[in-house]
């Protein structure tokens, strides 16, 4: 039994020494109890930091794909058709930077002996950067905006995945486009003026499987004079909600309005909810470890009944006994929490490093590497939570020790 000061000399330092000695004397049981707290604390840090890191990663990825873009489409069953008058009307909304009308339809592209499925995007080539921020020309140049015979193609159209080297598409070659039609497929040839570098998919389209043609060429191919949709680019992301409300007031239920910012809000809400769910699961494991502390402390009180009687006989009050055993439980939670911080940080960094091997943001995107968001607030909060669980778990055993009758305790063998 560790030695304490004389009658009336019990102080916090003695309490700390006594608690540490008690943990050392029951080393095996203490290690297992502390390990349970450490695992629970580590899981909280790992799951929450990775969830926040995933939230940040996806947010950044969506922001780079044009979070300040809005697409206006005719609603199902609506007979609305967009004209240049609509373009001018939308352009007058405060905060609108660019209005780009466009056409879009699925098609097949014949490259040598290979057929590639993709999508035609009829738009002013000079405005393509709005949909695909940062896209670059790999070979050649963009089509002339007024041309009805020129196109530029995405990387996978020029370099079909299943094609041999000799069947790739070159600048200056003709590209045969096949459009499905109720009366039969419509086949047209265009001259390739440029090939875009690898880009991947955006929120709306896959640039690598797209064929970009000027609006006059798209009108001739599709036989339409009205625009199929309008892309609205805002000056700032913060203006998206306001401009969407203006568009809704302008067109009512005749249009569908899609924006990455609304998608972003939904995705972030889902990830936040999932992170909270994982944090709750990890917290439950920590409370289970707290039950282990309670069980260990109850057994410790039963084994140390005579020791409690001796402590009372040398001057320790019931309050001193209560604080001593309570501090032992707090110390268990503190040590477990500190070890858990190390485990949680290691798990977060380790999982984040390998996340790119199995996480992808859609079929056309590059792998996602999660950078865990390990904040001082998370570490401190987890540590305090571990200490709280330890204290809560030790409260009943400590009270039981404090209420032990010293006379009966001294008679215990």
What is the tens place of the pLDDT at every residue in 268-305?
777 778 778 877 877 887 777 777 777 777 777 776 66
State the average pLDDT over residues 157-185.
80
Residue 369 sits in the same domain as residue 384: yes
Q: Which string of b and e fits 103-115 if b means at least 16 CB within 10 Å?
A: bbeebebbbeebe
More confident residue, 181 or 222: 222
Q: Return the higher-pLDDT residue of 65 and 246.
A: 246
Q: What percent of the chain lies above the pLDDT cut of 90?
A: 26
- Cα separation, 103 vs 213, whole angstroms: 9
Q: Is residue 281 part of a domain?
A: yes
Indicate if the pLDDT at residue 1 is higher than 70: no
Q: Strand locations in 136-265, DSSP E?
A: 137-140, 150-153, 174-179, 186-196, 210-213, 229-234, 255-258
- Reported as type and span, the H/E element at residue 108 is strand 96-111
DSSP, res 306: H
User: CA triplet 123, 124, 130: central angle to 5 degrees?
Assistant: 80
Structural domain contains residue 169: yes
User: Within this chain, do residues 156 and 294 fall inside the same structural domain, yes or no?
Assistant: no
- For residue 218, the surrounding DSSP H or E stretch is helix 215-222
Residues 296-334 as b/e (b if ≥16 CB within 10 A, e otherwise) read bbbebbeebbbbbbebbeeebeeebbbbbbbbbbbbbbb
Query: Given this model, what pLDDT does residue 10 score?
Result: 56
Domain boundary, last residue among 214, 237, 258: 258
Closest to 40 in 3D by CA, of 371, 327, 333, 393 = 333
- The pLDDT of residue 303: 66
Q: What is the pTM of this model?
A: 0.61
Is the pLDDT confidence value at 332 over 50? yes
The verdict on 392 and 320 lying in the same domain is yes
Q: Answer with the one of 258, 291, 317 that is the final residue of a domain.
A: 258
131 vs 363, residue with greater confidence:
131
Instruction: Mark whether 186 and 254 lie in a shared domain.
Output: yes
Report yes or no on 155 lying in a domain: yes
- For residue 214, pLDDT beyond 90: yes
> pLDDT-derived band of residue 356, with 50, 70 and 90 as boundaries?
low
In this prediction, residues 108-125 reach a mean pLDDT of 87
Residue 273 lies in a domain: yes
One domain for residues 56 and 149: no
Q: What DSSP state is assigned to residue 142?
A: P
Q: What are the tokens at 220?
A: 């001739």
Query: What pLDDT was estimated at residue 409?
Result: 57
Residue 35 belongs to some domain of the structure: yes
User: Cα(381)–Cα(281) distance, rounded to whole angstroms?
Assistant: 16
Residue 6 lies inside a defined structural domain of this protein: no
203 and 279 co-located in one domain: no
Residue 91 token pair: 């352009």
Query: What is the per-residue pLDDT for 360?
Result: 55
For the chain, the domain total comes to 2
| Residue 182 CA: distances (Å) to CA of 103, 179, 226 | 19, 10, 20
**For position 260, what pLDDT does the model report?**
76
pLDDT level of residue 230 (50, 70, 90 thresholds): very high
Same domain, 317 and 355: yes
* pLDDT tops 50 at residue 135: yes
Phi, psi of 150 (to 5 degrees): -105, 150
Q: What is the mean pLDDT of residues 158-182?
A: 79
Q: Which of 30-39, 127-136, 351-360 has the lowest mean pLDDT?
A: 351-360
Examine the domain organization and report whether 95 and 212 are in the same domain.
yes
Do 277 and 387 lie in a common domain? yes
Q: For residues 172-188, give the mean pLDDT.
A: 86
Residue 159 to residue 42: CA distance in whole angstroms:
47
Residue 213 structural domain: 69-258
230 within some domain: yes
Q: Looking at the structure, do residues 75 and 56 belong to the same domain, yes or no?
A: no
Query: Beta 229-234 vs 210-213: how paired, if at all?
Result: unpaired
Distance CA 314, CA 182 (A): 100
| Average pLDDT of the residues in 320-348 | 87
* Mean pLDDT for all residues in the chain: 81
7: in domain: no
Pick the range with the lowest mean pLDDT from 17-21, 60-64, 198-202, 392-396.
60-64
Do 238 and 282 lie in a common domain?
no
Residue whose C-alpha is closest to residue 86's, from 299, 251, 317, 293: 251
74 and 221 both lie in a single domain: yes
CB burial of 164-199 (b: ≥16 within 10 Å; e: otherwise) equals: eeeebbebeeebebebeeeeeeeeeebebbbbbeeb
Domain end (from 231, 258, 285) = 258
């Amino acid at each position: 039994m560790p030695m304490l000061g004389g009658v009336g000399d019990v102080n916090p330092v003695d309490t700390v020494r006594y608690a540490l000695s008690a943990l050392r004397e029951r080393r095996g049981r203490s290690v297992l109890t502390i390990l349970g707290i450490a695992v629970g604390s580590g899981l909280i840090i790992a799951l929450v930091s990775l969830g926040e890191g995933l939230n940040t990663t996806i947010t950044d990825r969506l922001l780079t794909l044009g979070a300040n873009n809005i697409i206006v489409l005719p609603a199902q069953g609506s007979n609305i058709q967009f004209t240049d008058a609509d373009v001018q009307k939308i352009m007058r909304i405060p905060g609108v930077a660019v209005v780009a009308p466009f056409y879009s339809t699925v098609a097949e592209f014949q490259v040598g002996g290979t057929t590639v499925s993709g999508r035609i995007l009829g738009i002013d080539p000079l405005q393509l950067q709005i949909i695909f921020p940062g896209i670059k020309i790999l070979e050649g140049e963009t089509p002339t905006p007024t041309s009805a015979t020129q196109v530029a193609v995405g990387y996978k159209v020029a370099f079909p995945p299943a094609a041999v080297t000799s069947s790739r598409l070159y600048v200056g070659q003709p590209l045969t486009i096949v459009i499905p039609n109720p009366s039969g497929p419509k086949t047209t040839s265009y001259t390739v003026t440029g090939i875009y570098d690898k880009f991947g998919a955006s929120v709306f389209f896959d640039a690598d499987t797209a064929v970009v043609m000027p609006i006059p060429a798209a009108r001739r191919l599709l036989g339409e004079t009205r625009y199929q949709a309008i892309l609205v680019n805002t000056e700032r992301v913060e203006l998206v909600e306001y401009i969407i409300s203006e568009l809704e007031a302008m067109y009512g239920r005749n249009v569908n309005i899609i924006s990455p910012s609304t998608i972003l809000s939904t995705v972030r809400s889902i990830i936040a909810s999932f992170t909270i769910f994982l944090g709750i699961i990890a917290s439950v494991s920590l409370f289970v470890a707290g039950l282990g502390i309670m069980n260990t402390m109850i057994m410790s009180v039963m084994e140390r009944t005579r020791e409690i009687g001796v402590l009372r006989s040398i001057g320790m009050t019931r309050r001193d006994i209560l604080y001593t055993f309570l501090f032992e439980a707090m110390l268990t939670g503190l040590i477990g929490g500190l070890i858990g911080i190390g485990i949680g940080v290691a798990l977060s960094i380790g999982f984040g490093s390998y996340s790119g091997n199995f996480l992808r943001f859609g079929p056309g995107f590059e792998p996602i590497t999660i950078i865990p968001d390990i904040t001082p607030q998370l570490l401190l909060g987890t540590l305090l939570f571990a200490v709280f669980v330890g204290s809560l778990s030790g409260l009943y055993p400590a009270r039981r020790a404090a209420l032990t009758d010293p006379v009966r305790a001294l008679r215990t063998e």
